[in-house]
Amino acid sequence: MDPRIYNAPTKNTWCAGCGDFAILRALKLALAEQVIAPHEVLVVSGIGCGSKLPDYMNVNGFMTIHGRPLPVATGAALANPELKVVVVNGDGDSYGIGGNHFLHTCRRNPNITHIVENNQVYGLTKGQYSPTSDKGYVTTTSPDGSMEMALNPLAVALAAGSTFVARGFAGDPKQMAQLIVAGMQHNGYALIDVLQPCVTFNRVNTYDWYRSRIYKLDEMDETYDPSSSEAAWEKAHEWEERIPTGILYNREGIPTYEDQVIQLRDNSPLKGTLSLWDDPRPEQYESLKEQFV
Amino acid sequence: MDYEGFLDSVRDDGGFRSREETKSIVANVFRAIAEVLPQKHLEGLSDQLPSELMVYLRGAHEEPDPYFDEHLFLGWVVSTIDATGERDKTTGGLDLYADYSGDEAMRRCRCVFKVLKSTVGADHRTSIGSFLPDGISALYQSA
């Protein structure tokens, strides 16, 4: 499938050179590789530079309030388990404002692929430190350097029970597309934390900074076993000098949240009372319009 | 041309404020080139470019990422632009410099490309351009 099918005519307002461009491209490539039609995908986002992404794609999009894309996406996945649900939001939206939802999504294991555009700064609001900013990081709101220890999202995800944990780099779109494909094919919640330089407000964690530190797990250690939680835990704590990218943890066979909801076993809500799929009668459209429009 | 001469030419052409700023611009444009230039291409270049510049190309990959595009290329260069503290040229916005940093990044690329093209031989001049992402290649050709 040609990835251009997902192109939208909307004018892009990201800064030139923003790492979000690579994430957008990788997502389109991943969808095209899996031959997923635009109407079969829902991309949910929150608030932030990266959360503008659904606007730049020809797919179903839902830009919700700050920090809430995961519960919205969980609801969508429950209502229509056949939908490919992808959440794309930044580190502030995911781990700060939406931190609570992040924890509980990890343990619930809904069938959602979560791509975090982690630029370690609040870009849209002009460069304040975020939950993943390294300690000592100087910004307008931390003129003497951030006093707080940076959140380690991969370790948190592992500790909270996430069944798929990966890290990508915006400078490696090919690998990122592969990770998104793997995350979407995983049965359950898949976290893909993408190191994404903010070229305007983060002058520390630049493309060059990352390039000199990152290494690909599968290339560096062919014996690395992503089903081992101990190995993943160790790799999740590598930072500063060397930063691993790739699939850190992948555990299959864990029931998803949807699998465990009794009401979903026979049919999805969308195929039940509101179904237009099996019996698309005009009066049903009218009935739905009366209820919801 | 030696390294010092290369920097002087870029600085004169771009009107950059300091030698340090020029070094940083040149380094980042070369690092971005390293992302798209296949490793095997470095051998011939090392005879024509000063060793100080070849250092930046050492990061070249055996097989460059085919999806490395003009946005990513510019990202390496935009990082060298001071986006805050400059005069606000936007119309009422608070994006102090970010609004037009892409144009400035392209100008910086053009300055480095111009000197690079005058430094390497005709074969390399053509082949480097062929490895660059589409939008950047056009910029290189026009430099």
Q: What is the pLDDT of residues A172-194, one digit of tens each?
A: 999 999 999 999 999 999 999 99
Instruction: Examine the domain organization and report whether A214 and A266 are in the same domain.
Output: no
CATH architecture of B3-142: Orthogonal Bundle (1.10)
Q: Is the alpha carbon torsion for A72, A75, A76, A81 positive or negative?
A: positive
Percentage, residues of chain B above pLDDT 70: 88
CB contact under 8 Å between B77 and A17, yes or no, is: yes
Count of positions (residues) in chain B: 143
Q: Which of A48-57, A256-265, B87-96 has the highest mean pLDDT?
A: A48-57
Q: Is the per-residue pLDDT at B110 higher than 50?
A: yes
- Cα A133 from Cα B56, distance rounded (Å): 27
Q: Look at residue B88 in the predicted model and tell me its pLDDT.
A: 47
Residue A284: band (very low, low, confident or very high) from pLDDT cuts 50, 70, 90: confident
A26 vs B contacts (CB less than 8 Å) = 67
List CB contacts (< 8 A) between B83 and chain A: 199-201
Total domains present in chain A: 2
Question: What's the pLDDT at B140?
Answer: 96
Q: What is the mean pLDDT of residues B21-30?
A: 95
pLDDT at B131: 96
Quote the pLDDT of residue A253.
95
Strands of the sheet containing A243-250, edge to edge, are A60-63, A41-45, A84-90, A112-118, A190-195, A164-169, A243-250, A214-216
* Percent over 90 (pLDDT), chain B: 73
A184 and A274 in a common domain: no
Q: In this complex, do B67 and A173 lie within 8 Å of one another by their Cβ atoms? A: yes
The verdict on A215 touching B (C-beta cutoff 8 Å) is no
Strands A214-216 and A243-250: parallel
Q: Which of A24, A139, A200, A205 to mutate to test the interface with B (most CBs of B within 10 A)?
A: A200
* Interchain contact, B79 vs A206, CB within 8 Å: yes
| Confidence class for position A10, pLDDT limits 50, 70, 90 | very high
B66 interfaces chain A, CB cutoff of 8 Å? yes
DSSP class of residue B97 equals: T
Nearest-CB residue to A25 (from B67, B74, B84)? B67
CB distance from B28 to chain A under 8 Å? Answer: yes
Same-domain status, A113 and A59: yes
Q: Chain B contacts of A16, Cβ < 8 Å?
A: 71, 74-75, 78, 101-103, 105
Question: Confidence class of residue A280 from pLDDT cuts 50, 70 and 90?
Answer: low
Is the domain of A252 the same as that of A285?
no
Q: Long-range contact list for A174-178, CB < 8 A, 24+ apart?
A: A174/B65, A174/B66, A174/B67, A175/A216, A175/A245, A175/A246, A175/B65, A176/A22, A176/A23, A176/A26, A177/A25, A177/A26, A177/A27, A177/A29, A177/A30, A177/A33, A177/B67, A178/A30
pLDDT band at A264; cut points 50, 70, 90: confident
- pLDDT band for B129, please (50, 70, 90 cuts): very high
Give the pLDDT confidence score for residue B97 in this predicted structure.
56
Residue type, B104: E
B55 at the A interface (CB within 8 A)?
no
Both structure tokens of A258 = 């949807």
Task: Mark whether A33 and A21 lie in a shared domain.
Answer: yes
Contact B66 A174 (CB under 8 A): yes
Work out the average pLDDT over A227-238: 97
pLDDT for the residue A126: 80
Among A62-71, A86-95, A123-132, whose mean pLDDT is lowest? A123-132
Residue B91's pLDDT band (cuts 50, 70, 90)? very low
CB-CB under 8 Å, B78 with A170: no
Mean pLDDT computed over A134-163: 94
Task: Please choose, from the candidates A245, A99, A237, the residue with its C-alpha nearest in 3D space to the C-alpha of residue A170.
Answer: A245
**Is residue A272 domain-shared with residue A191, that is, in the same domain?**
no
Q: What confidence tier does A292 reach under pLDDT thresholds 50, 70, 90?
A: confident
**Phi/psi at B44 (5° precision):** -70, -30
Per the prediction, chain A carries an average pLDDT of: 92
Reported as a single tens digit per residue, the pLDDT across A11-57 is: 898 988 999 999 999 999 999 999 999 999 999 999 999 999 999 99
| A195 plus A289 within the same structural domain | no
Alpha-carbon distance A199 to nearest alpha carbon in chain B (angstroms): 5
Output A11 or A103, whichever has higher pLDDT: A103
Q: Which residues of A touch B105 (CB under 8 A)?
A: 16-17
Residues A98 and A55 in one domain: yes
Residue B87 above 50 pLDDT? no
Residues of A in contact with B94 (CB under 8 A): 126
At B119 the pLDDT is: 95
Query: Does position B99 have pLDDT exceeding 70, yes or no?
Result: no
Residue B57 has pLDDT above 90, yes or no: yes
Nearest residue, CB atoms, A172 vs list B65, B84, B98: B65
- Is the per-residue pLDDT at A272 higher than 80? no
Give the domain CATH number at A116: 3.40.50.970
**Structural domain range at position A291:** 261-293
Query: What is the rounded average pLDDT for all residues in chain B?
Result: 88
The mean-pLDDT minimum among A56-65, A128-137, B31-40, B99-108 falls in: B99-108
Look at residue B90 in the predicted model and tell me its pLDDT: 46
A30-39, A71-80, A228-237, B41-50: segment of lowest average pLDDT = B41-50
- DSSP letter string, chain A: --GGGGB--PPP-SPTT-THHHHHHHHHHHHHHTT--GGGEEEEE-SSSGGGGGGGBSSEEEE-STT-HHHHHHHHHHH-TTSEEEEEEEHIIIIIITHHHHHHHHHH--SEEEEEEE-SEETTTTSEE-TTSPTT--BTTBTT---SPPP-HHHHHHHTT-SEEEEEETT-HHHHHHHHHHHHHSSS-EEEEEE---TTT-SSS-HHHHHTTEEEHHHH-TT--TT-HHHHHHHHT--TT-EEEEEEEE---PPPHHHH-GGGTT--GGGTTT--SSS--HHHHHHHHHHH-
Query: ipTM of the predicted structure?
Result: 0.87
Tell me what the mean pLDDT of segment B18-36 comes to.
95
Q: Are residues A43 and A100 in the same domain?
A: yes
- Structural domain spans, chain B: 3-142
Whether A162 and A272 share a structural domain: no
